[in-house]
Amino acid sequence: MNEHTDDISTDETTQRKHAAMIDRLSNLHQARISTKTNSKDPTFESTQSFLTTFTNSKQSIESSLTQIQQIPNQDPNSDLERISNSISDLEKLVAENSYFLPPYEVRSSLKTISDLKQTLDSVTSKVKPRKKFSFKNKPTKKQEPEPKPKPESESEPEHKTSYTINDSPGFRGTENAILTKEFTGSEIREFVLSDLTNCEVKLKGRFRTLFINRVRNCKIYVGPVSGSILIEEAEGCLFVLASHQIRVHEAKLTDFYLQCRSRPIIERSCGVRFGPYRLCYDGIETDLKESNLYEDTGNWANVDDFQWLRAIQSPNWSILPESQRIDMVKI
Amino acid sequence: MGLLSIIRKIKRKEKEMRILMVGLDNSGKTTIVLKINGEDTSVISPTLGFNIKTMTYDKYTLNIWDVGGQKTIRSYWRNYFEQTDGLVWVVDSSDLRRLDDCKFELDNLLKEERLSGASLLVFANKQDIQGALSPNEIAKVLNLDAMDKTRHWRIVGCSAYTGEGLLEGFDWLVQDIASRIYVLD
């Protein structure tokens, strides 16, 4: 730096220095060129030589890819990794030379590289068994029978329908009958009414939960249910029910007289009508009070139709006109 | 990947967990959520749509999505799958007739790729009812042992009515998620 300030005046020194610098630079350049050729540096500045190198590596990669497919190796991992490395070397080669290559060559080389990668991927999936992604839908299903023979099968050897053994209490598969049941105390019980036709059912007293399915032309009178009632497939019936929750699925032309803590719901139903609870038997007041169902919530009229999510009234249900409602039923 | 890692990072800071409650209608999902949050469970209407409940549990914030289980709205469950850390499948252990439905819907749910990383808690609810199946029997009916080995799962018997078993279930779920996501400290 101080040289600079010193030598402004003397042209001679400047020139000398300049010559020295040129000399030094050219030496450096020479040195660089020689190391380049020695270590096969991939900068050629000649499209032709680039293409030759490129094609050679490409062919060698392709041949090792076919080889690995033909000769199944016990441990294909190292080979695959080697190929993958040579592909990325090739990619680097293109990148380093891209500044002088014609755009067409760059594009076609990159295309070749992406093709090679794809081939490598498909070869990899062929040669190596897939591991990580085998947990998708289908294989899981296939594995199902496998872990089934478990040590705990000594009591019930894989009894899939074991739960039908202890069937819930209830009335099932009956026609033209009057069915009565009285619950005493506060039974924490479920009860089932299923496959009934032309029946009259009277359930007195408090109990916990009621399942009703496939009933036709029945009259069903039920005391307070402290849990929920689920009704599926009812046609031409009359229900008098008190419960915390009432769900009605697939009901047709059926009338409901309800006392309900929450909003009753209907789903896939049509022609169903709703009115207030109309039931009495000796001691029903106490039962209703103890089940927290004595207070009239008016919810029997607040029906949610899950298939009619609009502000206007659903065409599937209506409120029973007062003139058409039944009188208090004594059971 | 970028957005996902940012979200993960934010969640880690806030120790938040997203929990999805699903199951057939009438299984008691809403009652479980309200009960565990100490709220009144005597007036619960069948869920039309969903409820979100945010609560603090241990040192974590749980965002519980309680989605209605009626058949007509089950197809919307998939809208809630994204970013779910824990899945709670609620079974009405006294509804023997619909256990096949229950199994079918659960199997479908577990095929969902977006839920593949979520811990699964199965609540065998309504254990207080006399005819209810035990958690072991429910596990057998649902064939839970055949589930993918990578899934973290557990079945717990409970009663949303009495509150029994709810904490046991949530304790497991929260600990399991924490050990996966936050690496317990």
Confidence at residue B58, expressed as pLDDT on a 0 to 100 scale: 84
pLDDT exceeding 90 applies to what percent of chain B?
77
| Residue B108 with chain A: CB contacts under 8 Å | none
| One domain for residues A125 and A187 | no
A165 to chain B: which residues are within 8 Å by CB? Answer: none
Residues A101 and A223 placed together within one structural domain of the fold: no
| Residue B141 touches chain A, beta carbons under 8 Å | yes
**B113-135 residue pLDDT tens:** 999 989 999 999 999 998 899 99
Mean pLDDT of chain A: 82
Residue of chain B whose Cα is closest to the Cα of A292? B42
Same-domain status, A102 and A212: no
A304 and A245 share one domain: yes
pLDDT for A81 equals: 85
pLDDT at B183: 56
The per-residue pLDDT for A319 is 96
Does residue A30 belong to any structural domain of this protein? no
B24 is in an annotated binding site: yes
A-contacting residues in B 5-34 (Cβ below 8 Å): 25-26
Looking at residue A46, what is its pLDDT?
A: 81
B87 annotated to a ligand binding site: no
Same domain, A177 and A112: no
pLDDT at residue A65, as a whole number:
85
Residue A95 lies in a domain: yes
Nearest CA to CA, how far is A244 from chain B (Å)?
7
Question: Residue B101 pLDDT > 50, yes or no?
Answer: yes
A201 shares a domain with A63: no
The pLDDT value recorded for residue A150 is 43
Residues of A (167-196) whose Cβ lies below 8 Å from B:
167-169, 187-190, 192, 194
Average pLDDT over residues A241-249: 96
A148 has pLDDT over 60? no
If pLDDT is split at 50, 70 and 90, which confidence band does A203 have?
very high
Most confident of A55-64, A144-153, A224-233: A224-233
B39 residue type, one letter: E
A196: left (phi over 0), alpha (psi -120 to 50) or beta: beta
pLDDT at A37 exceeding the cut of 70: no
B5 is in an annotated binding site: no
Q: Are residues A105 and A198 in the same domain?
A: no
Residue B60 and residue B16 in contact, taking contact as beta carbons nearer than 8 Å: yes
| Number of Cβ pairs < 8 A linking chain A and chain B | 104
In a domain, A155, yes or no: no
Task: State the residue range of the domain holding A63.
Answer: 46-131
SS3 state of residue A294: coil
Query: Taking 70 as the threshold, does the pLDDT of residue A44 lie above it?
Result: no
Query: Mean pLDDT of all residues in chain B?
Result: 91
pLDDT at A189 over 80: yes
| pLDDT > 80? residue B144 | yes
- pLDDT at B185 (0 to 100): 44
Q: Is A228 domain-assigned?
A: yes
CATH number of the domain at A196, please.
2.160.20.70
- Do B128 and A188 lie within an 8 Å CB cutoff? yes
pTM of the model: 0.66
Instruction: State mean pLDDT over A161-180.
Output: 79
Q: Could you tell me which chain A residue has the CA closest to the CA of B160?
A: A227
Mean pLDDT of A137-162: 44
Q: Answer whether A245 touches B (CB < 8 Å).
A: yes
Pair A217, A239: CB distance under 8 Å: no
Same domain for A126 and A197, yes or no, is: no
Best of A166, A193, A228, A260 to mutate (most B CBs within 10 Å, chain B): A228
* A176 and A68 housed in the same domain: no
Q: In chain B, helix, strand, coil percent, each to 5? A: 40, 25, 40
Least confident window among A65-69, A288-292, B35-39, B137-141 = A65-69
Residue written as tokens 């090679």? A116
| Structural domains counted in chain A | 2
Q: Do A249 and B71 touch (CB under 8 A)?
A: yes
In this predicted structure, the answer to whether residue A30 has a pLDDT above a threshold of 50 is yes
Question: In this complex, which of B95, B132, B146 lies closest to A211 when CB atoms are compared?
Answer: B95
Helix, strand, coil percentages, rounded to 5, for chain A = 40, 30, 30
Nearest CA in chain A to B148: A140
How does residue B184 score in pLDDT terms, banded at 50, 70 and 90?
very low
Residue A214 in any domain: the answer is: yes
Which one of A131, A146, A178 terminates a domain? A131
Report residue A9's pLDDT band, with 50, 70 and 90 as the boundaries. low
Rank A62-66, A91-95, A174-178 by mean pLDDT and report only the highest. A174-178
Residue B59 has pLDDT above 90, yes or no: no
Q: Which of B48, B44, B17 is nearest to B33 (CA)?
A: B44
Facing residue for A213 by CB, picked from B97, B137, B146: B97
* pLDDT in the model for residue A143: 45
| Range B16-23 average pLDDT | 94
What is the model's pLDDT at position A28? 78
Question: Nearest CA of chain A to the CA of B160: how many Å?
Answer: 11
Does A55 map to a domain? yes
Q: Could you confirm whether B70 is annotated as catalytic?
A: yes
pLDDT of A158 over the 70 cut: no
Q: What is the pLDDT of residues A256-293, one digit of tens each?
A: 999 999 999 999 999 999 999 999 999 999 999 999 99
Known binding residue B68? Answer is no
One domain for residues A272 and A218: yes
Whether B72 and A268 lie within 8 Å, measured CB to CB: yes
Which residue of A150, A163, A188 is in closest CB contact with B96? A163
Residue B152 — very low, low, confident or very high, per pLDDT cuts 50/70/90?
Answer: very high
Q: What is the 3-state secondary structure (H, E, C) of A113-152?
A: HHHHHHHHHHHHHHHCCCCHHHHCHHHHHHHCCCCCCCHH
Confidence band, pLDDT 50/70/90 cuts, at residue A100: confident
| CATH number assigned to the domain comprising residue A96 | 1.20.58.1250
What pLDDT does residue B9 have? Answer: 67
Q: Is the per-residue pLDDT at A327 higher than 60?
A: yes
Name beta bridge partners: A252.
A235, A270
Q: Which residues in chain B are closer than 8 Å to A135, comparing Cβ atoms?
A: 116, 148, 150
Same domain, A180 and A316: yes
Lowest mean pLDDT: which of A55-59, A163-167, B41-45?
A: A163-167
Cα(A22)–Cα(A268) distance, integer angstroms: 93
Identify whether residues A225 and A326 lie together within a single domain: yes
Q: Name, in order, each residue with C-beta under 8 angstroms of B149's C-beta and a sequence gap of 6 or more.
A: none
User: Is residue B72 less than 8 Å (CB to CB) from chain A?
Assistant: yes
In a domain, A276, yes or no: yes
pLDDT over 90 percentage in chain A = 44
